[in-house]
Chain A
């Protein structure tokens, strides 16, 4: 039976927005979606007019829709944003090379500049090589750490003020559940604090901290898919070939089953987050990695430690807690005499 749109009451509805139990026609759905993203940006002061914004673009539906919507809002409200697409090539054959072609298509369609960085350029390792050393377990640890740093480096290279990623409400809810199920209190408290905008990190005045924003954080994954479908946006829809073994899959499966019973569960999880306060943990002091200069809470950043482990053929050690402690200690001990001798050489030269 055809229903009329709950909003305009004129056209027939095409979409059910489950969390609000509304039936919307195509035009009203576009308006609802764009308005939700715009309200998120305005209410949480995510982006300022005139900023240069790097959009993390993987070619997937989230980043494609994000690029499209930001461009649309930029034109509609005259924010004068300088939008750039920033893509990271992890070196996964049969997956990343195809999705990069989609990003190039987006560059041409939306007329946005594109900057691509690859793992092989930054770390001399591709994900295929990493997996061949450590196997299919815990490879997401390497990819996640490397990608985060690669995005920061890419954003610095294009001199952008802020990095926008396509994380949606489902991703954030999954992360909460994931950290709770794994007992990862540090990450759980960080995600709570970030959501409550209480996260403070003591940084040096000349530190190069990149601001990260998630304009799609209040939008459901299903809504993103429907938006991309109705707008006929081109995106790459295949899951990473190494993803099926990730722990996140458990949280995702639970969340999807929950959403089928109660469609508003995802927004309820985010609401629950706003009600939680955690024990005061020690404020992490940001310092610069003595190797690569990235911001880190330790002397040597995680990416450099993981890279060292791979170079030494000890990649498997890096993903075990006890192994990490040994690796970290050995790496720091070997680094500090080196930096001391370098600095003494410099002072001799001067």
Chain B
């Protein structure tokens, strides 16, 4: 029985990728991804000509694809014309050890790719302040005290993003691109809804950072319209190295995040338009004009008493004893209930001190 050969919808060559937009050959698929990437940056105003841009890279396939896409967008085009995009790019990598971060594997895959496009690489170990923060947080947070794997993942993420913001500030970058793609944005939307943080959804779904979570630093998501499946395919086609996720802790029901990821993957197999549907519906939610930030995770929180409760008094002992009130989102309130009060409070205190340092750096 003869097998049917599919042809690329654009150039009629033999198709190798069967995507939502139609069959494509390798070359047209890559062009489509680059076009999508550049369009998101220009239409959403994520960066302007000549901007100093940082890239938060963990070494995973998403951030590796981001570096490669950015490099190709800024390089000379294949038809010999100069690229219209021009940016100074610095790659930030947090290489401190934790249950979720391995210090060496990420940098080994990032450096060759960065060198290919002449991007500078800046690591946390090279920054004294970041090392101090990590040491402080690591000492006060007894990781074995945190029994919920979802909390472990989230707390690591909270610290890593702050360190990226600090590194970006020290290098003079006001804009940072991270590797969040359409699938991970949908995962964040579902976990926000299920943890009581519905208020943050319009901020999660937007490719541009409207929440000003880290004061002057904006963390944008230029891969907003590209799914996991497309990125993995892209990375495989371009033969880009990446580090695989830590699977020992990521069973499908080990945490809310991993449950959501496996649910979305299964659903996408049966209903291909799931990811675009979620993004389309969520984008209709109005962005609130007035909001504050959770003191722990920096997620936007409603300023109306209905949405938020101030519930933690953290004492910060300087020369004068000072009482500091913290604002917590719903998810962090639950997190507080799952950890010991002492651990939670000391962790929160060190983060608030770090935020003060980041803010005072803004004012200088």
Binary interface encoding of chain A residues 158-188 relative to chain B, with 1 for a CB under 8 A from any of its CBs, else 0: 0000000000000000001101111111001
Q: Report, as a range, how many residues of chain A touch the other chain.
A: 20 to 34
Q: With an 8 A cutoff between CB atoms, is B60 at the interface?
A: no
Distance of A247 from chain B, by nearest CB (Å): 8
Contacts of A272 on B, CB cut-off 8 Å?
Answer: 192-194, 196-199, 201
A184 and B284 CA atoms in complex are apart in Å by 11
Contacts of A277 on B, CB cut-off 8 Å?
Answer: 285-286, 288
Query: From A254, which residue of chain B is reached at the shortest CB distance?
Result: B263
- Taking A262-B194, A262-B195, A268-B334 as given, write out 19 further A-B residue pairs in contact, using a Cβ cutoff of 8 Å, ordered by the A residue number: A180-B189, A181-B277, A182-B277, A185-B280, A247-B271, A265-B195, A268-B193, A269-B193, A269-B194, A272-B196, A272-B199, A273-B198, A274-B306, A275-B302, A277-B285, A277-B286, A277-B288, A278-B284, A278-B285
Establish whether residues B263 and A257, one from each chain, have CB atoms under 8 Å apart when the complex forms: yes
Establish whether residues B281 and A183, one from each chain, have CB atoms under 8 Å apart when the complex forms: yes
Distance of B203 from chain A, by nearest CB (Å): 12
Q: With an 8 A cutoff between CB atoms, is A271 at the interface?
A: yes
Establish whether residues A260 and B330, one from each chain, have CB atoms under 8 Å apart when the complex forms: no
Query: From B331, which residue of chain A is reached at the shortest CB distance?
Result: A268
Query: From A271, which residue of chain B is reached at the shortest CB distance?
Result: B196
Q: With an 8 A cutoff between CB atoms, is A250 at the interface?
A: yes
Contacts of A183 on B, CB cut-off 8 Å?
Answer: 273, 276-278, 280-281
Number of A-B pairs, beta carbon distance below 8 Å: 98
Of B196, B201, B278, B330, most A-chain CB atoms within 10 Å = B196
Q: Which of A181, A185, A250, A269 contacts B284 (CB 8 A)?
A: A185
Interface residue stretch chosen among B14-22, B73-81, B253-261, B340-348: B253-261
Contacts of A257 on B, CB cut-off 8 Å?
Answer: 253, 259, 263
A189 and B284 CA atoms in complex are apart in Å by 9
Establish whether residues B256 and A258, one from each chain, have CB atoms under 8 Å apart when the complex forms: yes
Establish whether residues A262 and B198, one from each chain, have CB atoms under 8 Å apart when the complex forms: no
A264 and B278 CA atoms in complex are apart in Å by 23
Q: With an 8 A cutoff between CB atoms, is B307 at the interface?
A: yes
Establish whether residues B281 and A276, one from each chain, have CB atoms under 8 Å apart when the complex forms: no
Contacts of B197 on A, CB cut-off 8 Å?
Answer: 272, 275
Q: Which of B256, B274, B285, B306 contacts A276 (CB 8 A)?
A: B285
Establish whether residues A268 and B195, one from each chain, have CB atoms under 8 Å apart when the complex forms: yes
A181 and B278 CA atoms in complex are apart in Å by 5
Q: Which of A180, A253, A271 contacts B281 (CB 8 A)?
A: A180
Query: From B262, which residue of chain A is reached at the shortest CB distance?
Result: A257
Q: Which of A179, A261, A271 contacts B253 (CB 8 A)?
A: A261
Contacts of B282 on A, CB cut-off 8 Å?
Answer: 180
Q: Which of B121-153 contact A (CB under 8 A)?
A: 150
Q: A180-B278, A182-B277, A279-B286 are in contact. Are A258 and B194 (CB under 8 A)?
A: yes
Establish whether residues B193 and A176, one from each chain, have CB atoms under 8 Å apart when the complex forms: yes
Q: A181-B274, A275-B199, A277-B288 are in contact. Are A265 and B280 (CB under 8 A)?
A: no
Contacts of B194 on A, CB cut-off 8 Å?
Answer: 258, 262, 265, 268-269, 272
Establish whether residues B281 and A185, one from each chain, have CB atoms under 8 Å apart when the complex forms: yes
Query: From A182, which residue of chain B is reached at the shortest CB distance?
Result: B277
A180 and B280 CA atoms in complex are apart in Å by 9
Q: Report, as a range, how many residues of chain B touch the other chain.
A: 35 or more
A261 and B255 CA atoms in complex are apart in Å by 7
Q: With an 8 A cutoff between CB atoms, is B87 at the interface?
A: no
Q: Which of A182, A247, A264, A275 contacts B334 (CB 8 A)?
A: A264
Top 5 A-B residue pairs of the complex, sorted by shortest distance between their CB atoms? A272-B198, A183-B277, A268-B196, A275-B199, A275-B198
Contacts of B263 on A, CB cut-off 8 Å?
Answer: 250, 253-254, 257
Distance of B275 from chain A, by nearest CB (Å): 10
Q: With an 8 A cutoff between CB atoms, is B210 at the interface?
A: no
Q: With an 8 A cutoff between CB atoms, is B267 at the interface?
A: yes
Query: From A266, which residue of chain B is reached at the shortest CB distance?
Result: B194
Contacts of A189 on B, CB cut-off 8 Å?
Answer: 284
A264 and B150 CA atoms in complex are apart in Å by 15
Contacts of B276 on A, CB cut-off 8 Å?
Answer: 183
A335 and B189 CA atoms in complex are apart in Å by 45
A270 and B79 CA atoms in complex are apart in Å by 54
Distance of B278 from chain A, by nearest CB (Å): 6
A254 and B274 CA atoms in complex are apart in Å by 14
Distance of A77 from chain B, by nearest CB (Å): 28
Query: From A180, which residue of chain B is reached at the shortest CB distance?
Result: B281
Distance of A45 from chain B, by nearest CB (Å): 18
Q: A276-B199, A276-B201, A278-B285 are in contact. Are A271 and B330 (CB under 8 A)?
A: yes
Contacts of B196 on A, CB cut-off 8 Å?
Answer: 268-269, 271-272
A182 and B271 CA atoms in complex are apart in Å by 9
Distance of A100 from chain B, by nearest CB (Å): 34
Distance of A261 from chain B, by nearest CB (Å): 6
| Sample (14) of A-B pairs whose CB atoms are under 8 Å apart | A183-B276, A184-B281, A185-B280, A261-B256, A262-B194, A265-B256, A268-B334, A271-B196, A273-B198, A274-B198, A275-B198, A276-B201, A277-B286, A278-B285
Distance of A278 from chain B, by nearest CB (Å): 6
Establish whether residues B259 and A261, one from each chain, have CB atoms under 8 Å apart when the complex forms: yes
